[in-house]
Structure 1
């Protein structure tokens, strides 16, 4: 967050000197709160909580103060509010007022206001459940001002914080949904979807069929099928609240099943069965159709034991002319669903790697078929290698035998020549 950091408890963040009465009078004068000034002017000391209530109510005036005075004034107001015996009654209103646009600071106003909100958060003990309420105000502020990047580094800490606060599941769910809203506002669809799923997982028992659970489930479903990057739906279908859509939203549930594990032909049948429904629901028909083609391509690649998909099968499954195969092959590879390449000469798409959309009994059978195919291929290769090895061994033996024969002939010839030369020498000696 620009100029602000969410940390653990920091009791010394504010350095304010003076008694409660003196500081309250100063704040009342600054905010021009007649009600607070009236209470503080009475001879008998007014109850602290009543004074604080009036000051917090008047704190909306902080949005009109000069830019250079805002930080000091907001820090003093925060310090006073923290003197309450029950700050949680005051902090939601104070945070709401601190989050208002600063009229005199159009450039730096958002950063200044966020600093004030984060100061409130950091002054609270790390396990104080009031922190959850303050965080909600911070999240709303971040959404309005499109400051999601400031929250990104703290998302991993959020589950730990929520556990330490001991808040109820309803508030936990609201926090997750608000984080999703902030992410979505900044175009972070993947993170938004992740936190919607976190919110859905907070429902249990009869709550899975509640109106709120079904609302969130339907929202998650729409986000998933319309996403340009989300192609696997098993995580979504495993959530009980989403499973309950089969009763509350049977058509949406049917559509989810198609995107999870069926193909383009099934999607076209769905559209024929529910004519005009996609348009009525304001879903992007073109985007859905394109996504189903990519998913169908992935399924086709996954169910081919030989890892070679004929062009004819692609054109039939995707319902496209052959000249578009290259475009769709590029798109399915970019989507991360398949790795492979086209062989124009063989009119094949050669699959190197594929992502399974689902992995159940059917997929295990397909994998078993593929393993059997590979085993058969390897056995054939082994037979060929063994035969070649035997042939090489026999050839080597023949070569060795031939060499031995030649060597034997050389030795015999050498001995015969020696005898002849000896006889010639003997005849020569006799003549002499």
Structure 2
């Protein structure tokens, strides 16, 4: 009965001990959490209080200690606490906020999406759902490492932005399916600074890349353009019929200098969008794997086309094998024919019976007569 009040009190900063207060509060809350039974729903309120303390203090160390438990035990906790959709959403939001305060942008985004999908379809058009959808979408667009927008397009709350935040939703569609040319055409008509939800986003410093050596947090415009270039290259690789992309084609599509192509290809590989090998000698990128940004009817058609090509290639290989097999049989038969004829000739000769024997004996006698004549001649000398 008094536990929620205690948790709320401990979640607030302690004026009497600003330095050690957070660690004391976390220690007390952790003790309470561990004392309660695993299926006790009161653990839910204690957990929210722990996340609130971490969020208010930006304690990266404390959050890091909890990450393993979150990945391993959180699904079981949610099930045992028997949370409804609203409570589940609140839980994921508390983790997202704590992770963001602790500097873990990737985990923060993950739980933000989980909270978004916890919104009931019946409430997808509510004001709270719109705020959640806008936050999720702007976060996804502004984070340098987010390239998969399927979790957003599959959300009813995000789909409702089509009517309430048309420019922001159109930007989502561009990053889901289109290329750099379409994006730059959009920016000419709708500058990023005019989209208030995006203009106010605080960006983070991206991981080290070859195309940009700056360690400072870039602007939203820079992040969006960089991501669109990487996505455009991924789409080019996925559509390449021969699995080979000339440097000139990449430079034209990304609107960059030819000497910068390899840097952008390496960044796209690091982003996990493509796999392949650069050939400086041929001036081309050999594609081993490419990520499809969307997978619809057109993509199924491309897969069907490639399967037909592979099928025809296999049929050609089988035809070559059959042809070589027939040639081998014919050659073997031709080689066996003279040998068979020779054997038959031998049998015919030996089948001569006595005549053959007489010929042999006669030949032997003739040879003996010749020998005598030679002896007589020799004796006469």
TM-score range normalised by the length of the shorter chain: 0.7 to 0.9
Partner of 2:128: 212
Partner of 2:320: 384
Partner of 2:64: 149
Partner of 1:92: 7
Partner of 1:423: 362
**Are the counterparts in 2 of residues 305 and 373 from structure 1 also a CA contact under 8 Å?**
no
Partner of 2:119: 203
1:352 aligns with 2:264: no
**Are the counterparts in 1 of residues 48 and 94 from structure 2 also a CA contact under 8 Å?**
yes
1:322 aligns with 2:275: no
**Are the counterparts in 2 of residues 208 and 244 from structure 1 also a CA contact under 8 Å?**
yes
**Are the counterparts in 1 of residues 238 and 290 from structure 2 also a CA contact under 8 Å?**
yes
SS in 2 for 1:217: helix
Partner of 2:209: none
Partner of 1:26: none
In structure 2, which of residues 326, 334, 337 is the aligned counterpart of residue 401 of structure 1?
Answer: 337
Alpha-carbon offset, residue 349 of structure 1 = 2.3
**Are the counterparts in 2 of residues 126 and 164 from structure 1 also a CA contact under 8 Å?**
yes
CA distance in 2, matches of 1:331, 1:419: 96
Query: How do 1:25-424 residues align onto structure 2 when only pairs under 5 Å count?
Result: 86-88=1-3, 90-96=5-11, 100=14, 103=17, 106=19, 110-143=22-55, 144=57, 145-146=59-60, 147-155=62-70, 156-277=72-193, 281-282=198-199, 284-404=220-340, 422-424=361-363
Task: Name which of structure 1's ranges 298-307 and 109-118 shifts more when overlaid on structure 2.
Answer: 109-118
CA distance in 2, matches of 1:256, 1:268: 14
CA distance in 2, matches of 1:396, 1:200: 73
Alpha-carbon offset, residue 255 of structure 1 = 0.6
Distance 1:350 1:385, change over 3 A: farther
Alpha-carbon offset, residue 256 of structure 1 = 0.6
Alpha-carbon offset, residue 403 of structure 1 = 4.5
CA distance in 1, matches of 2:130, 2:328: 71
CA distance in 2, matches of 1:361, 1:186: 42
**Are the counterparts in 2 of residues 271 and 277 from structure 1 also a CA contact under 8 Å?**
no
**Are the counterparts in 2 of residues 342 and 350 from structure 1 also a CA contact under 8 Å?**
yes
Distance 1:224 1:94, change over 3 A: closer
**Are the counterparts in 2 of residues 208 and 240 from structure 1 also a CA contact under 8 Å?**
yes
Alpha-carbon offset, residue 262 of structure 1 = 1.2
Q: CA RMSD in A?
A: 3.2
CA distance in 2, matches of 1:401, 1:137: 94
**Structure 2 unmatched ranges of 5 or more:** 200-218, 373-381
CA distance in 1, matches of 2:224, 2:246: 25
Alpha-carbon offset, residue 277 of structure 1 = 3.6
SS in 2 for 1:148: helix
SS in 2 for 1:357: coil
**Are the counterparts in 2 of residues 95 and 134 from structure 1 also a CA contact under 8 Å?**
no
The number of equivalent residue pairs is 344
Distance 1:286 1:420, change over 3 A: farther
Task: Name which of structure 1's ranges 337-346 and 366-375 shifts more when overlaid on structure 2.
Answer: 337-346
Distance 1:101 1:362, change over 3 A: farther
Q: Deviations over 1:258-287 (max 9, x none)?
A: 111111111111112213546863261111
Alpha-carbon offset, residue 139 of structure 1 = 0.6
SS in 1 for 2:228: helix
TM-score between the two structures when normalised by the length of structure 2 = 0.79
SS in 2 for 1:300: helix
**Are the counterparts in 2 of residues 264 and 318 from structure 1 also a CA contact under 8 Å?**
yes
**Are the counterparts in 1 of residues 11 and 50 from structure 2 also a CA contact under 8 Å?**
no
